[in-house]
Structure 1
Amino acid sequence: MKIGVLQLNPIVGDLDGNAARILDAARRAHSLGAELCVTSEMALTGYPPRDLLLYESFVERVRERAEELAGALRDGPPLLLGAVERNPSGLGKPVFNCALFCEGGRITRSVRKTLLPTYDVFDEARYFEPAPAGDPEANIIRTHGLTLAVTVCEDAWNDKDYWDARTYARDPLEEAAAQSPDIIVNLSASPLFLGKQQLREDMLGAVARKYGVPMVYVNQAGADDDLVFDGRSCAFARDGGLMARAQGFEEDVIVVDTDNPSANTVADDDFCREAETWRALVTGTRDYVRKSGFSKALVGLSGGIDSAVTAAVAAEALGADNVTCVLMPSPYSSRGSIDDSLELAKNLGIRTVTLPIEPIMAQFEKTLAEPFAGYEPDTTEENIQSRIRGNLLMAMSNKFGALLLTTGNKSELAVGYCTIYGDMSGGYAVISDVDKTGVFNVAKWYNANVAPNIPEAIITKPPSAELRPDQKDQDSLPDYAVLDAILARHIEHHQSRAEIIAAGFDEATVNRVLNLVRGAEFKRRQAAPGIKLTPRSFGTGWRMPLACRRDL
Structure 2
Amino acid sequence: MKIFLAQQNYHIGNFESNTQKIICAIEEAKKQGGDLILFSELSVCGYAPKDFLEFDDFIGKCYAAIDEIKQYADTIGVLIGAPDRNPVREGKDLFNAAYFLYEKEVKGIAHKTCLPNYDVFDEYRYFEPAYDWKVMEFKGKKLAITICEDIWNLGDNPMYRICPMDELMKQQPDVMLNLSASPFDYTHDEDRKATIKANVTKYKLPLFYCNAVGSQTEIIFDGTSYVFDKDANLCGKLPSFQSSLQSFILNDDGTIDAPIIEPASRVPDKELNPIALEENLNIEQVYDAIVMGIRDYFTKMGFTKAILGSSGGIDSAVTLALACEALGADNVRAVLMPSEYSTGHSVSDAEALSKNLNNPYDIVPIKNIYDSFLQELKPIFKDLPFSIAEENIQSRSRGNLLMAIANKFGYILLNTSNKSELATGYGTLYGDMAGGLGVLGDCYKMQVYALAKYINRNAEIIPENIITKAPSAELRPGQKDSDSLPDYSILDKLLFQYIERRQGPKEIKAQGFDAALVDRVLKMVNINEYKRNQFCPIIRISPKAFGVGRRVPIVGKYLS
Q: Which TM-score band applies after superposition, normalised by the shorter structure?
A: over 0.9
Amino acid at match of 1:529: P
| 2:199 equivalent to 1:207 | yes
The match for 1:141 is 136
1:431–1:531 CA contact under 8 A, matched in 2: yes
Q: State the SS of the aligned residue for 1:315.
A: helix
* Partners of 1:258 and 1:334 in 2: CA distance: 64
User: Amino acid of the residue matched to residue 531 of structure 2?
Assistant: K
Partner Cα distance (2:375, 2:33) in 1: 75
- How many angstroms does 1:25 deviate by? 1.2
Q: 1:443 deviation in Å?
A: 0.7
1:88 CA displacement: 1.6
SS of 2:350 mapped into structure 1: helix
Of 500-509 and 487-496, deviating more is 500-509
Compute the displacement of 1:503 (Å): 1.1
Tell me, in whole angstroms, the C-alpha distance in 2 between the residues paired with 1:262 and 1:91: 45
Q: CA separation in 2, counterparts of 1:27 and 1:264?
A: 26
Deviation, structure 1 residue 256: 1.7
> In structure 1, what is the equivalent of residue 467 of structure 2?
459
Compute the displacement of 1:165 (Å). 4.7
Please say which of residues 87-96 and 6-15 is displaced more in the overlay: 87-96
Partners in 1 of 2:82 and 2:73 — Cα distance?
A: 18
- 2:345 partner letter: G
Aligned to 1:150: 145
Q: Which of 331, 339, 343 is 1:330 aligned to?
A: 339
State the secondary structure of the residue aligned to 1:371: helix
Percentage identity across paired residues of the two chains: 44
In the other structure, the counterpart of 2:43 is: 43
Instruction: State the shift of 1:30 in Å.
Output: 2.2
Residue-by-residue CA offset, 1:162-217 (whole Å, 9 max, x unaligned) = xx654311100111112111110000000011121111112202211221111000
Partner AA of 2:446 in structure 1: T
Give 1:34's aligned residue: 34
User: What amino acid sits opposite 2:549 in the alignment?
Assistant: G
CA separation of 1:76 and 1:381: change in aligned 2, threshold 3 A: farther
Structure 1 gap segments, 5+ residues each = none
The CA distance in 2 between the partners of 1:306 and 1:265, in whole Å, is 41
- Decide which of 416, 419, 439 is 2:425's aligned counterpart: 416
Q: Please give the alpha-carbon distance, in whole angstroms, between the structure 1 residues aligned to 2:164 and 2:453.
A: 45
Counterpart-to-counterpart distance in 2, 1:217 and 1:350:
40
Report the alpha carbon displacement of residue 32 of structure 1 after superposing the two structures with TM.
2.6
Shift of 1:374: 3.0
Q: Return the alpha-carbon distance in structure 2 between the equivalents of residues 460 and 422 of structure 1.
A: 25
Name the residue aligned to 1:13: 13
1:321 paired with 2:330, answer: yes
Q: Which residue, 534, 537, 541 being the options, matches 1:533?
A: 541
> Does the aligned pair in 2 maintain the 1:246–1:266 contact within 8 Å?
no
Tell me, what secondary structure is at the counterpart of 1:368?
A: helix
| Structure 1 residue aligned with 2:67 | 67
Assess if the C-alpha contact under 8 Å between 1:434 and 1:533 holds in 2.
yes
Q: What are the within-5 Å matches in structure 2 for residues 283-302 of structure 1?
A: 283-302=292-311
Counterparts in 2 of 1:172-321, with a 5 A limit? Answer: 172-259=164-251, 261-263=256-258, 273-321=282-330
Mapped to 2, the partners of 1:84 and 1:265 lie a distance apart of 35
- The residue number in structure 2 matching 1:356 is 365
State the Cα deviation string for residues 372-428 of structure 1 (Å, max 9, x = none).
013111011111100000011111111111111000000000000010000111100
2:484 equivalent to 1:492: no
Q: Deviations over 1:284-322 (max 9, x none)?
A: 111011111101111110001000110011000011111
Residue 508 of structure 1: how far off its partner (Å): 1.1
Partner of 2:128: 129
What code does the residue aligned with 1:415 have?
T
Tell me, in whole angstroms, the C-alpha distance in 1 between the residues paired with 2:259 and 2:81.
24
Deviations for 1:417-471, whole angstroms, at most 9, x for unmatched residues? 010000111100001000001000111122115x420100010000001111111
Structure 1 residue runs of 4 or more that deviate by more than 4 Å after TM superposition: 264-267
Shift of 1:75: 3.2
- CA 1:265–1:55 in 2, change beyond 3 Å: closer, same or farther? farther
AA aligned to 2:181 is: A
Q: CA deviation at 1:139?
A: 3.9
Distance in 2, Cα, partners of 1:20 & 1:63: 15
TM-score by length of 2: 0.94
**Cα-Cα RMSD:** 1.4
**Cα separation, 2, equivalents of 1:99 and 1:438:** 38
Equivalent residue number for residue 53 of structure 1: 53
**Structure 2 counterpart SS, 1:494:** coil
Summarize the Cα distance change of 1:302–1:265 in structure 2 as closer, same or farther, 3 Å threshold: farther
* 1:462-489: CA deviation from partner (whole Å, max 9, x where unpaired): 0001111111000000000111011000
Q: CA deviation at 1:33?
A: 2.7
Contact 2:339 2:367 in 1 (8 A): yes
Paired amino acid for 2:503: Q
Write the deviation string for residues 115-170 of structure 1: whole angstroms up to 9, x where unpaired: 100000000010001111xx4xx24111011001000000010114xxx6543111
* Number of residues of Structure 1 aligned to a counterpart in Structure 2: 540
**Greater Cα offset, 49-58 or 21-30:** 21-30
What is the CA–CA distance in structure 1 between the aligned matches of 2:229 and 2:195, rounded to whole Å? 13
Cα displacement (A) at 1:76: 3.8
The one of 513, 521, 526 equivalent to 1:513 is 521
1:476 and 2:484 are equivalent in the alignment: yes
3-state DSSP of counterpart to 2:142: strand
Distance 1:285 1:139 in 2: 41
Q: Matched residues in 1 for 2:236 and 2:259: separation?
A: 6
Equivalent-residue separation in structure 2 for 1:405 and 1:231 (angstroms):
25
| Equivalent position to 1:393, from 378, 381, 402 | 402
The one-letter amino acid of 1:549's match is K
The CA deviation at 1:265 is 7.9
Asked if 1 retains the 8 angstrom alpha-carbon contact of 2:26 and 2:73, the reply is: no
3-state SS of the aligned residue for 1:448?
coil
- Distance in 2 of aligned mates of 1:199 and 1:115: 18
One-letter amino acid matched to 1:151: T
SS of 1:109's equivalent in the other structure is strand
Note the residue ranges of structure 2 that are not aligned, 5 or more in a row: 263-279
TM-score, length-scaled by structure 1: 0.96
- Residues 1:502 and 2:510 aligned together: yes
Q: Give the Cα separation in 1 of the matches to 2:215 and 2:114.
A: 23
Structure 1 Cα separation of the partners of residues 516 and 74 of structure 2: 70
Decide whether aligned partners of structure 1 residues 139 and 523 sit closer, same or farther in structure 2, where only a CA change above 3 A counts: farther
Q: Is the 8 A contact 1:4 1:30 kept in 2?
A: no
Secondary structure class of the residue paired with 1:285: helix
**Cα contact 2:41–2:98 (8 A) shared by 1:** yes
The question of whether the paired residues in 2 share the 8 Å contact of 1:33 and 1:255 is answered with no
- In the alignment, the residues of structure 2 paired with residue 265 and residue 396 of structure 1 have an alpha-carbon distance, to the nearest angstrom, of 54
Matches within 5 A, 1:369-448: 369-448=378-457
3-state SS in 1 of match to 2:381 = coil
Cα distance in 2 for partners of 1:410, 1:74 equals 47
